[in-house]
Structure 1
Amino acid sequence: MTPPAPILCIGSVLWDIVGRSDRAMKAGHDVPGRIIRIPGGVAMNIAMALRAHDVPVSLLTALGDDAAGRELLMESTARGMETAFVHVSKQFPTDQYMAIEGSNGLIAAIADAHSLEEQADAVIAPLSDGRLGTKDDPFEGLVVCEGNLPSVTLDYISTAAEFRAADIRLAPASPGKAERLKPFVGHRHATAYVNLIEANILLNTKLDSAAEAASQLAATGLYRAVVTDGPNAAAVADASGTLSQTPPAVKVLRVTGAGDVFMASHIVAESRGLTGADALDFALDHTSKYISTETPL
């Protein structure tokens, strides 16, 4: 039997520096807690969650030729990810992310993905130069694209011939970068995984539920929309209709990376033959387990 082709995870691979406290926080607070440094970035988070279920993954990203980048390459290889197509730069450093989380959720975060943005052309080059595909013989597998890629690159991917046969899965990275995915609204081969805030940004609306948002995104011609809303019901919509499911109630211990775990878990569910409500339940269950424990991916 021919093994499944690796899923291409295109985007940010960096180090997450996350400070967590079990106390509720506001801007200016100084509280005790824990600070950890773990592999992160949207593309990396999704790749790690996929590999946790033994799904083959290939990373397309930019790393610096520095200690941080070399360590990330070693970590990726140790987790069974293909890194042959990673662009390593002597000009730019490895990106990084910093977040502060309290018991009331994410307080603040800064994503320094400038190196990825500056080298995005080199990151996606394997899909056009023959290493993974060309314009005449495009890659036909599943491709994860995320909002840390620059707008011009995402706009290109949405219409480029070398992506025309791909099953494109979209992650916005954050509400602040959700607008970068607007070129994919109405895209017939793309599935968007967004939260309600991000869905409203894409639609220029103020909808109150994930079901409404998913339905309206699907109505644009987008192949499928998957919308979450924290502890409230999540929804999936496509041309066949809309379905929703409320996630399990859990005590939230972390939030960074939760959306990435949800997206990866939904992809895993589909790879196992689950569809519709079953795939959504699988993703919600695994995400609830993730946010209610501090165990690394």
Structure 2
Amino acid sequence: MTPSRSPDILCIGAVLWDIIGRCDKPMRQGSDMPGRITRLPGGVALNIGMALSRFGLAPALLSAVGRDPEGDELMAACAVRGLMTDFIYRSDDLPTDRYMAVEGANGLIAAVADAHSLEAAGDKILGPLGDGRLPKPFTGAVALDGNLTIDLLGLMAESPLLAEADLRVAPASPGKALRLAPFVKTGRGTLYVNLEEAGLLCQRVFADSRAAAEGLLARGAARVVVTDGSNPATVADPDSMHTQTPPQVQVARVTGAGDTFMAAHIAAERGGIKAEAALQQALDATALYVSGETLI
């Protein structure tokens, strides 16, 4: 099937259902509190894609979705949100992935990401990059998430199919931060990490985002964006470094905040905004998101 339009950016990684339990009071381990439970389209690649669509871009998803009722419903939900699903690998024997989280007024309490189908699909999700359905080599922007296996991420870090692409890479969670090591080793792409993830990649503890950015560059990273919650964030490459402080807001939601930040930053830079201003624009957009406001 020929896509009806050409994508501005590829979002490669998790496309799944988010099941989120939220309580408007602080929680701790073992808490049993009243709240709301919602199910929404999610996953790092999909969250980034939805945000990019709101920022006026035309994202296409490369992922794995089951041929089950949950998968059919998810594909329809993606299309309604302006995302191109033409390139998604539909598996007959793998179920649609899910993510479950519990959030309190004090932030994320716990989460479990079940992305086993995406991992099992492996390089099948990259078929459109090599079979002619997408330009070869691909020269546009590509947002990758760390829900892919380290072997597949390593392949992509060195693949000639992506050698001319504007790679943007995020680990998905601190537990998957080390999966970004191939991009540090090869000096490919822009890495989006928080302070904890930067420390894991560098095997040390950093006091702030600026020190973390310096550490990642010293290990070979080509370009990094390091966030630290409500503390200053830094964007850096070997020639420049800029640090900005996020706006202070009341937190109403947490899940998807990092994906919103990454999408807002990509959209700003793809729109020609320079590094320092793009970082501030992304921080402002994320502050609106976590406060519960509508971005656009």
TM-score range, shorter chain: over 0.9
Matched letter for residue 251 of structure 1: Q
Identity within the alignment, %: 52
Superposition pairs of residues 257-296 of structure 1, within 5 angstroms: 257-293=256-292
Is 1:150 aligned to 2:149, yes or no? yes
CA distance in 2, matches of 1:154, 1:271: 23
Matched letter for residue 178 of structure 1: A
Aligned 8 A contact 1:138 1:165 in 2: yes
Structure 1 runs not aligned, ≥5 long: none
Q: CA deviation at 1:294?
A: 6.6
Residue matched to 1:54: 56
Residue matched to 2:72: 70
In structure 2, relative to structure 1, the CA distance for the partners of 1:186 and 1:227 (3 Å cut) is same
Aligned-partner SS, 1:193? strand
1:86 to 88, 111, 121: 88
Aligned-partner SS, 1:234? strand
Superposition pairs of residues 128-277 of structure 1, within 5 angstroms: 128-133=130-135, 137-277=136-276
Aligned 8 A contact 1:186 1:223 in 2: no
CA distance in 1, matches of 2:237, 2:218: 8
CA distance in 1, matches of 2:79, 2:173: 27
RMSD of Structure 2 on Structure 1 (CA): 1.6
1:18 to 17, 20, 26: 20
Aligned 8 A contact 2:202 2:219 in 1: no
Matched letter for residue 260 of structure 2: V
Matched letter for residue 128 of structure 2: P
CA distance in 2, matches of 1:217, 1:141: 25
Q: CA deviation at 1:5?
A: 4.4
Matched letter for residue 263 of structure 1: M
Aligned 8 A contact 1:255 1:291 in 2: yes
CA distance in 2, matches of 1:212, 1:104: 26
Report the count of equivalent residues.
292
Q: CA deviation at 1:295?
A: 5.6
Aligned-partner SS, 1:54? coil
Aligned 8 A contact 2:184 2:222 in 1: no
Matched letter for residue 153 of structure 2: L
CA distance in 2, matches of 1:285, 1:4: 29
Aligned 8 A contact 1:166 1:189 in 2: no
CA distance in 2, matches of 1:5, 1:118: 26
Structure 2 runs not aligned, ≥5 long: none
Q: CA deviation at 1:215?
A: 2.0
1:33 to 32, 35, 60: 35
CA distance in 2, matches of 1:88, 1:4: 20
CA distance in 1, matches of 2:32, 2:55: 38
Aligned-partner SS, 1:168? strand
